[in-house]
Amino acid sequence: MSLEIKALHAQIPGREILKGLNLTINPGEVHAIMGPNGSGKSTLSKVLCGHDDYEVTSGEVLLDGENILDMAVDARSRAGLFLAFQYPHEIPGVSNANFLRAALKARLPKGEDIDAVRFYKQLYARMDQLEMDRSFTSRSVNEGFSGGEKKRNEILQLMMLEPKYAILDETDSGLDIDALKIVSRGVNAMRSENRGFLVITHYQRLLNYIQPDIVHVLKDGRIVKTGGKELSLELEERGYDWVTDESLATAA
Amino acid sequence: MVTAPDNDISDIKVDNVGDFTFPERNKYDSGFGITDKTVDFIADVKNDPDWIREFRHKALKIFQDKPMPTHWATKDLENIKFDEFRYYLSDGQKPKRSWDDVPEDVKKTFDRLGIPEQERKFLAGVEAQYDSEAAYSNIKAAVEEQGVIFVNSTEGLHKHPEIFRKWFGKVIPTGDNKFSALNSAVFSGGSFIYVPPGVKVKHPLQAYFRINSEQFGQFERTLIIADEGAEVMYMEGCTAPKFETATLHSAVVELVAMKGAKIQYVTVQNWSSNVFNLVTKRGIAHEDAEVRWIDCNIGSRLTMKYPGVIMKGKRARGEVISIALANSGQHQDTGAKMVHAADDTTSNVISKSISIGQGRSTYRGLVHIPKHLKGCKNNTECDALLINSNSHTDTYPAISVRGNQHSTQHEASVSQVSADQIFYLMQRGLTEAEAMSLSVNGFINDLAKEFPMEYSVELKRLIDLEMEGSVG
């Protein structure tokens, strides 16, 4: 049981972005990926979820042993993969509650519906954890939300959908310190031995609140260094330039 | 499409609920094409009084003389081959008051469309038309006792000539357009409703129009009169099977709201994509009266429909709320006409269109406020949603406001359901069809609330079906 990324190559027309990326996330682990701008962090999250702007040219992604690269975006989601978006989309006219109900219903056998009473009970409990006002249930998804509210809403969806593997793409961007604490508290509440996390971030700040087990440095489409929590502190202090590609060094 | 055998209709498996048909068993068939003989055939079968027979013949002449309006409308109209339709088909039976008496295949048809069930649940009366004539017509006793008349147009003409004749053809003159003339020549079926002064009909009256036969044109004619201070809501639904050949539907609907009366007319149409749907709808609102069109157009090959309100009395109000959904191979050419003819009249038009794939939506709006009036107000909002880059939308507002004592407001917007929005929704586990359906339902959400609950559920279901059909 794990999310295994093996020698993954992916490109947009004319440019390869992921160049043989290897990474294994076991349930119960929190991995952080750090890296300079343009290293391929956001591309990785979208490729894993099946965004069709990117073409996978070789490699495998196994979710608990099943290759998900041939699966459609929605099937990957239902298989247990969740992405907290860096820029969550607005869905005019669709209330948050209806959206979540539709997403939960999509996980049930055809013709079955969710129990509305239990749904709202759980929704309100999760919203309380994220200090979200109840009015957010009836507001259109992300429409007119502040940056921080959008990120909280992403974590709310994570909490309701309870995925096996969650990717957080720059969830800290645009958050003030109070919002960052609330969002992190939500994520930490979801940490469990049955769930793996991949936290993508540019800054070490987030990792003070969501403590990673393993930290990777992504550079030019590859993981070039892996270490413990202390690696993120070192990156914060020294930047990315000093990191050389260990895999290349070994090969040489 | 499925031809239903004699056995149980539940054996039929089709994606679209309206896409099935039964074998024809018509006693009266006008044959192909439209001539004076066709008109006489219909007048004979229907036992028309002389003035109606004359009215039909005059209308036929106008229809034949009027050119197709292709100087402003789509050239697709030229593909209508009037010689290849039959203009009247019926089994020669009178409409039944009980579903048990309705012929078995007709009853199965309406059962499948859910009409008897809806009637039990929330309707004050139902008329169910099958090809040219009503097969079933019933009004709840309590409503009838209030003096409300709800019958088909033939019965209205024969039994209530004093009301019928006064208003028939007065709101929409025969020569209004080529298709109103066609309807006037061969009309059959449709509802005649009269609500006496002060009577407020609590539950909606409903008509359902079903086309069963191939190469056929349906031409119902509806006339609704709400007398002083009366209120009524009328709803219509319609379906047809998908034939290889074209089907023609050309209705005329006239509404008269007397002083202080209120008429709401709700349409949820779900025509199959071979139907030319060319309908003329207009209401007159007298002093302090209100006419409201709530119009939802799904399906058909081409729909041309611009519900209108003539605000004839002071403080009259007119409203058109419309939702149009054009999938690939479909053109929804819809809009509204608001004619202000008295002081302090108010009109409101809210139109939302959705174009999918190659689908095309056109909005045409006319607002007319003459110079000699004062205190008139119009608000027009028209929003288009495009799904997939091939979709097409046009807006042709024509607002003629003279004088400076009025207020008008016009807003238009075009938005896209972007690939990223669909990706976001699919990342949460929704299929592509579910993602599109949710986006579309979000877009029309504020308007769908205007529909009676049962109809907004139906609307959502129809949108789900359309979306399922539109993704590979």
Q: Where are the domains of chain A?
A: 3-251
Find, in chain B, the residue whose alpha carbon is nearest to that of A92: B442
Q: Which residue has the higher pLDDT, A241 or B194?
A: B194
Measured between beta carbons, the chain B residues lying within 8 angstroms of A96 are none
B396 near B364, Cβ under 8 Å? yes
> Residue A94 is nearest to which of B420, B426, B442, comparing CB atoms?
B442
Nearest CA in chain A to B417: A91
Instruction: Output the pLDDT for position B13.
Output: 36
The verdict on a CB contact (< 8 Å) between B428 and A161 is yes
B324 inside domain: no
Q: Answer yes or no: do B153 and B292 share one domain.
A: yes
On whether residue B328 sits in a domain, the answer given is no
pLDDT, residue B27, reads 85
Are B424 and A92 a contacting pair at CB < 8 A? no
Q: Which of B285, B305, B325 is the last residue of a domain?
A: B305
Q: Tell me the pLDDT band of B10, cut-offs 50, 70 and 90.
A: very low
Does CATH number 3.40.50.300 belong to domain A3-251?
Answer: yes
Q: How far is A250 from chain B (nearest CA, A)?
A: 38
**pLDDT the model gives residue A37:** 86
Q: Specify if B369 maps to a domain.
A: no
pLDDT score, position B294: 94
Q: Does residue A246 have a pLDDT over 50?
A: yes
User: Which carries the bigger pLDDT value, residue B299 or residue B227?
Assistant: B227
Q: Are residues B299 and B448 in the same domain?
A: no
Chain A residues within 8 A of B432 when measuring between CB atoms? 72, 74
Question: Buried b / exposed e across B266-295, counting CB within 10 Å, b at 16+?
Answer: bbbbbbbbbbbbbbbbbbbbbbbbbbbbbb
Side chain identity, residue A107: R
Average pLDDT over every residue of B37-66: 97
Name the B residues in 442-461 with CB < 8 Å from any A CB: 442-446
Residues of chain B with Cβ-Cβ distance to A157 below 8 Å are: 428
Is the CB of A80 inside 8 Å of chain B's CB atoms?
no
Q: Cβ contacts (< 8 Å) between A45 and chain B: which residues?
A: none
The count of other CB atoms within 10 Å of the CB of residue B396 is: 12
Contacts of A88 in chain B (CB under 8 A): 424
Least Cα separation, residue A207 to chain B (angstroms) = 25
Name every residue whose Cβ is closer than 8 Å to that of residue A250 and which is 6 or more positions away in sequence.
none
Question: How is residue A120 written in tokens?
Answer: 């709202």
Across the interface, whether the CB atoms of B427 and A102 are under 8 A apart is answered: no
- Whether B287 and B315 have beta carbons less than 8 Å apart is answered as yes
B343 lies in a domain? no
How many Cβ atoms are within 10 Å of A143's Cβ, its own excluded? Answer: 16
Rounded to the nearest angstrom, the minimum Cα separation between A94 and chain B is: 5
Is residue B24 predicted with pLDDT exceeding 50?
A: yes
Average pLDDT over residues A182-196: 95
Report the Cα B133 to chain-centroid distance in Å: 17
Give the pLDDT score at B389: 65
Q: What is the pLDDT of residues B94-150, one digit of tens each?
A: 888 888 888 888 888 888 888 888 888 888 889 888 889 888 888 888 899 999 999
Classify residue B384: in a domain, yes or no: no
Whether residue A77 and residue B425 make contact (CB cut-off 8 A), yes or no, is no
Q: Mean pLDDT throughout B45-65?
A: 97
Which pLDDT value is given to residue B11? 37
Our measurement of the distance from residue B179's CA atom to the centroid of its chain's CA atoms, rounded to an integer in Å, reads: 14
| Contact (CB, 8 A) for B196 and B148 | yes
Question: Taking CB atoms and an 8 Å limit, are A94 and B439 in contact across chains?
Answer: yes
Give me the phi and psi of A183, to 5 degrees please. Answer: -60, -45
Domain presence at residue B14: yes
Is the minimum CB–CB distance between B426 and chain A shorter than 8 Å? yes
**Min CA distance, A29 vs chain B (Å)?**
22
Instruction: Check if A91 contacts B (Cβ < 8 Å).
Output: yes
To the nearest whole Å, the CA of B461 is away from the closest chain A CA by 13
Instruction: Using the predicted structure, report yes or no on whether residue A45 has a pLDDT greater than 80.
Output: yes
Contact B431 A83 (CB under 8 A): no
Q: Do A85 and B424 touch (CB under 8 A)?
A: yes
In a domain, B399, yes or no: no
Question: Is the domain of B67 the same as that of B214?
Answer: yes
**Of B269, B287, B305, which residue is a domain's last?**
B305
Distance from CA of B299 to the nearest CA of A (A): 23
Which residues in B lie closer than 8 A to residue A94 (C-beta atoms)?
438-439, 441-442, 445
**Residue B469 sits in which domain range?**
421-472
Phi, psi of A79 (to 5 degrees): -75, -15
Q: What is the total count of domains within chain B? A: 2
Phi, psi at B71, each rounded to 5°: -70, -20
Give the DSSP letter of residue B343.
T
Give the Å distances, CA to CA, from A200 to A93, A166, A169, A203, B8: 31, 11, 5, 9, 59
Answer whether B427 sits within 8 Å of A93, measured CB to CB. no
Domain membership flag for residue B416: no
Report the DSSP beta bridge partners of residue B378.
Answer: B347, B408
Nearest to A91 among B419, B439, B446 (CB): B439
Chain B contact present for A15, CB below 8 A: no
Q: Does A160 touch chain B (CB under 8 A)?
A: no
